[in-house]
């Protein structure tokens, strides 16, 4: 699945950014979140499931399910990387990215001629 299919919510607040990803079938121990060089948030998840259904002893039935997620997101300049928090509940991953107080840079208007 692509990142846009997983991302189901984004909120930008004064104090933080909030992201919500739907990752059905995954438990929190199957999700790994890292911050890579250059301020890139990486979210990975993998779930494997196999079942044997013995309807008939001579021909047992097998079924398996596999899900894999891997998405990257460039973090904004004002993200406090050390304070990022994540919570996984009922197949929904919620990430909170606190913001630092960024000083306003001087902005110069350029005249269009």
Dihedral sign from CA coordinates of 23, 29, 31, 34: positive
Q: To the nearest whole percent, how much of the chain has pLDDT over 70? A: 84
Among 109, 107, 92, residue whose Cα is nearest residue 19? 92
The rounded percent of the chain whose pLDDT value lies above 90 is 50
Q: Which residue is listed with tokens 């301020």?
A: 39
pTM of the model: 0.72
Contact 46, 68 (CB under 8 A): yes
How big is the CA angle at 75 (ends 70 and 79), to the nearest 5 degrees? 135
pLDDT of residue 38: 87
pLDDT value of position 57: 67
Q: Using one digit for the tens of pLDDT, what is the confidence trace for 43-60? A: 999 888 877 776 666 677
d(CA 57, CA 17): 54
Domains of the chain by start residue, with CATH: 3-98 (2.60.40.790)
Reported as a single tens digit per residue, the pLDDT across 85-106 is 999 999 899 999 999 987 666 7
How does DSSP classify residue 90? T
């Amino acid at each position: 699945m692509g990142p846009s299919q997983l991302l189901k919510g984004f909120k930008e607040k004064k104090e933080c950014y909030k992201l919500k990803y739907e990752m059905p079938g995954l438990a929190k121990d199957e999700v790994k979140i890292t911050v890579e060089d250059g301020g890139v948030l990486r979210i990975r998840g993998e779930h494997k499931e196999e079942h044997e259904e013995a309807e008939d002893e001579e021909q047992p039935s097998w079924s398996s399910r596999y899900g894999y997620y891997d998405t990257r997101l460039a973090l904004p300049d004002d993200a406090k990387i050390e304070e990022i928090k994540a919570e996984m509940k009922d197949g929904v991953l919620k990430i909170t990215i606190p913001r630092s107080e960024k000083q306003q840079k001087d902005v110069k208007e350029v005249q269009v001629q």
